[in-house]
Amino acid sequence: MNVVLGVGGGIAAYKAAELARALAQRGASVQVVMTAAAQEFVKPLTFAALTGKKVITGMFSSATGDETLSSAVEHIGVAEANSLLVVAPATANLLAKFAHGIADDFLTTLYLAFTGRVLLAPAMNTHMWQHPATVANLEILRMRGHAVVEPEEGPLACGMIGPGRLADPETIAEAAMRLLNQRKDLEGETVLVTAGPTQEPLDPVRYISNRSSGKMGYALAEAAAARGANVVLVSGPTHLARPNGVKLVKVTTAVEMHDAVIENLDPATIIIKAAAVADYHLARIPDQKVKKTAARLSLDLDPTPDILAEVGRRKGDRLLVGFAAETERLVEESRRKLKSKNCDMVVGNLVSQDGVGFDSDTNEVVLVMSTGEMVELPRASKREIADQILDEIIKLRLALHSAQ
Ligand code: CTP
């Protein structure tokens, strides 16, 4: 497991030393590359001591110490010898250079020559993190398929409180290990995932919706694609970027989601319905904006098609996973939905808790299976929960097949 750790010039550079140690402790051989600015914050010697390797500090300062042709093309050699590039802290400047292919020092030149996986752990001041330029650059990098460990919220060195603090080195090391040990155990599968809320129009300017952010469904789609599956993600309106390697079908209403799911059902072998579909919609939507009057207004709503129940009726030997977002009696409600919608698994979450369910980056769920088994997954990032759900789906399918 050969990893390059690119260290950018930010106050969080000292935390990259902990990351280097965490990677080495997990058995990785770590080659550190520091930008000139990073060396203003931490001495290369710290990293050399932690990794047992000379640190690369510049374009023409070879790790081997020689001043020959091999040092001039060292970035190519380093790119070829390593399968993962982790950049922590990834400063706004580094993100911008990576996004636009500017190669004016060792790390940015290495980035262009690198063909393996890239993991970015940004850290910066909140305003820099939220600046449209940084947002756009990060979007480019995500679209390129790079993994990102988002910064955390908290007090920053500049005195502000907000997002921008480098994620915990252990969290970054875990994400790096996941990329290095990526299982390809869903090759040959076609996974259909639904995500996000639906919006049901009331007139041309208003709609009814719910608090779903789509994060859990997107995490599942990304995890399934990383494990080798063909993934179709049918998504209601969200602010999330298309996960790498996923076919994204955007919809707005429950009826559109229904049609997109049915259209993509045939080739699917696993169906995961994480979307929070509106249960009711306005049957006849006025053509013009409804005007305010002093009178009371009632909405006459009709039920939407229950997509999960319909897929349950025609699923054949596909494995069907539903979601239950509940505020009480989680296990009972999950079991009820499992039976009534003919699912093989229901992922239940209590959306009334902090850090769980809608819009949260973490989740804590209970999996209720058609075999009667129940698995509790303790709180973790939605990306980690996604992999654990996929592990359980694979196990469940083996159990169902061997029971046949
Ligand atoms: N679902 C669906 N189509 C709908 C409503 C829900 O496919 N019109 C799916 C969701 O994607 C989710 C599961 O059904 O996988 C559970 O959604 P939920 O709204 O909790 O189920 P309901 O049957 O609407 O139950 P409740 O009585 O709690 O509203």
Best probe residue, ligand 1, of 279, 311, 389 (max atoms within 8 Å of C-beta)? 279
Question: Is there a contact between 85 and 180 (Cβ–Cβ < 8 Å)?
Answer: no
Question: Is there a contact between 230 and 394 (Cβ–Cβ < 8 Å)?
Answer: no
Q: Which of 180, 202, 222 is the last residue of a domain?
A: 180
In this structure, the answer to whether residues 18 and 68 fall within a common structural domain is yes
Bigger pLDDT: 295 or 404?
Answer: 295
Q: How far does Cα 78 stand from its chain's mean position?
A: 28
Q: Nearest residue CA, atom 29 of ligand 1?
A: 279
Residue 348 in tokens: 């239940």
Bigger pLDDT: 60 or 9?
Answer: 9
The predicted structure's pLDDT at residue 64? 55
In this structure, the answer to whether residues 315 and 340 fall within a common structural domain is yes
The closest of 260, 197, 199, 256 to 232, measured between CA atoms, is 260
Which CATH number characterizes residue 101's domain? 3.40.50.1950
The predicted structure's pLDDT at residue 401? 87
| Each residue's pLDDT tens digit, 190-236 | 999 999 999 999 999 999 999 999 999 999 999 999 899 999 999 99
The residue-averaged pLDDT of 160-165 equals 88
Q: How far is the C-alpha of 169 from the C-alpha of 351, rounded, in Å?
A: 29
Please calculate the CA angle 15-19-20 and round it to the nearest 5 degrees.
115
Distance from the alpha carbon of residue 286 to the mean position of ligand 1, in angstroms: 26
Name which of 121-135, 356-370, 383-397 the model is least confident about: 356-370
pLDDT at 393 over 90: yes
- What is the helix (H) or strand (E) element at residue 313, kind and residue range? helix 307-313
The predicted structure's pLDDT at residue 272? 98
Sequence length of the chain is 404
The residue-averaged pLDDT of 139-157 equals 85
Residue 85 in tokens: 């590039």
| Each residue's pLDDT tens digit, 256-266 | 999 999 999 99
Rounded to the nearest 10 degrees, what angle do helices 92-100 and 106-113 cross at?
Answer: 40
In this structure, the answer to whether residues 309 and 343 fall within a common structural domain is yes
| Residue 336 phi, psi dihedral angles, 5° rounding | -60, -45
User: Percent helix, strand and coil across the chain, each rounded to 5?
Assistant: 35, 25, 40
pLDDT at 63 over 90: no
Q: Peptide bond preceding 286: is omega within 30 degrees of 0, i.e. cis?
A: no
Q: How far is the C-alpha of 267 from the C-alpha of 273, rounded, in Å?
A: 16
Cβ neighbours of residue 163 under 8 Å, at least 6 residues apart? 126, 129, 130, 150, 151, 152, 153
In this structure, the answer to whether residues 175 and 231 fall within a common structural domain is no
pLDDT at 145 over 80: no
Task: For residue 305, give the ligand 1 atom closest to its CA.
Answer: 8
Contacts for 295-301: CB closer than 8 Å, 24+ residues apart: 299/202
Report the SS3 class of residue 98: helix
Please report whether residue 288 resides in a domain: no
In this structure, the answer to whether residues 175 and 196 fall within a common structural domain is no
Whole-structure pTM over 0.85, yes or no?
Answer: no
Name which of 30-34, 147-151, 342-346, 372-376 the model is least confident about: 147-151
Distance from the alpha carbon of residue 201 to the mean position of ligand 1, in angstroms: 19
In this structure, the answer to whether residues 157 and 215 fall within a common structural domain is no
Q: How far does Cα 250 stand from its chain's mean position?
A: 18
Q: Which of 127, 152, 180 is the last residue of a domain?
A: 180
In this structure, the answer to whether residues 163 and 249 fall within a common structural domain is no
Distance from the alpha carbon of residue 18 to the mean position of ligand 1, in angstroms: 44
| Each residue's pLDDT tens digit, 236-280 | 999 998 887 899 999 999 999 999 999 999 999 999 999 999 999
In this structure, the answer to whether residues 396 and 317 fall within a common structural domain is yes
The predicted structure's pLDDT at residue 66? 53
Range of the domain at 321: 190-282+299-403
Please report whether residue 63 resides in a domain: yes
Q: Does the annotation mark 158 as catalytic?
A: yes
The predicted structure's pLDDT at residue 82? 87
In this structure, the answer to whether residues 173 and 232 fall within a common structural domain is no
The closest of 300, 364, 299, 298 to 326, measured between CA atoms, is 364
| Residue 76 phi, psi dihedral angles, 5° rounding | -70, -45
Which CATH number characterizes residue 259's domain? 3.40.50.10300
Distance from the alpha carbon of residue 157 to the mean position of ligand 1, in angstroms: 45
The predicted structure's pLDDT at residue 151? 94
Name which of 91-95, 127-131, 142-146 the model is least confident about: 142-146
In this structure, the answer to whether residues 54 and 198 fall within a common structural domain is no
In this structure, the answer to whether residues 207 and 351 fall within a common structural domain is yes
Burial of 325 (0-12, 13-18, 19+ CB in 10 A): buried
Cβ neighbours of residue 69 under 8 Å, at least 6 residues apart? none
Share of the chain above pLDDT 90, in %: 76
Please report whether residue 287 resides in a domain: no
Task: For residue 254, give the ligand 1 atom closest to its CA.
Answer: 8
pLDDT at 56 over 60: yes
Query: Which residues lie with the beta carbon below 6 Å from any ligand 1 atom?
Result: 194, 254, 273, 275, 277, 279, 304, 306-308, 322-325, 337
The predicted structure's pLDDT at residue 162? 86
Report the SS3 class of residue 31: strand
In this structure, the answer to whether residues 271 and 145 fall within a common structural domain is no
Name which of 133-137, 227-231, 354-358 the model is least confident about: 354-358
Cβ neighbours of residue 403 under 8 Å, at least 6 residues apart? 371
Question: Of 72, 143, 158, 161, which one is the catalytic site residue?
Answer: 158
Q: Rounded to a whole number, what is the distance in angstroms from the first to the last CA of the chain?
A: 40
Please report whether residue 380 resides in a domain: yes
Per the structure, the count of domains in the chain is: 2
The predicted structure's pLDDT at residue 18? 97
Residue 117 in tokens: 């996986």
- What is the helix (H) or strand (E) element at residue 108, kind and residue range? helix 106-113
